[in-house]
Amino acid sequence: MKYGKGNNFVKFKAALSEVALEEYSDLGRLIKKESYYLPTFTAPDYMGMGLTQDEARKMRMDAMKAHQRKLERMRDDCPKLYGLILRHMSPENKDEVAQDPDYETWSEAADPEKLWKAIVSTHKVDCVTSIDAVKELAARKAYQSIRQGSFETLAQ
């Protein structure tokens, strides 16, 4: 991923989303949603299937255990997704993301959600810097260079 003016954030997000979904399934939804996806547990009605109360209770417990294993797998895959994202970042990206106030905390925990939110906040805007004075200067230069072409209307 490139950083700065003309970055490739949109392409990076699309490609990373595909890879993350393929390798980490529900955890990979983080890239598009920009927050963790937590699957909900809904137990089927085993009593309506003609099972005894003990059989229905056992099947409900098995379903809850399977759901719990899924959540544990997602939690265990967090550092792997963090590493995947980090691997595809340039040194400039890493430097910019390291400016986040809580960087030390979430980088130590290898939290992919915080890393992704930091990337989105620093790369979504097509700008070279986060310094207000430099942004203002660039905007003024762009405004001053606007010229109406010979065959253009004011609206164009």
Do 116 and 85 meet the contact criterion of CB atoms below 8 Å apart? Answer: yes
Rounded Cα gap, residues 123 and 43, in angstroms: 41
Tell me the one-letter amino acid at 128.
Answer: V
With 0-12 / 13-18 / 19 or more C-beta atoms within 10 angstroms meaning exposed / middle / buried, residue 46 is middle
Q: CA 23 to CA 31: how far, in whole Å? A: 13
For 72-117, the pLDDT digits (tens) are 999 999 999 999 988 888 888 888 888 888 889 988 998 999 998 8
Q: What is the pTM of this model?
A: 0.66
Q: Is the pLDDT score of 49 beyond 70? A: yes
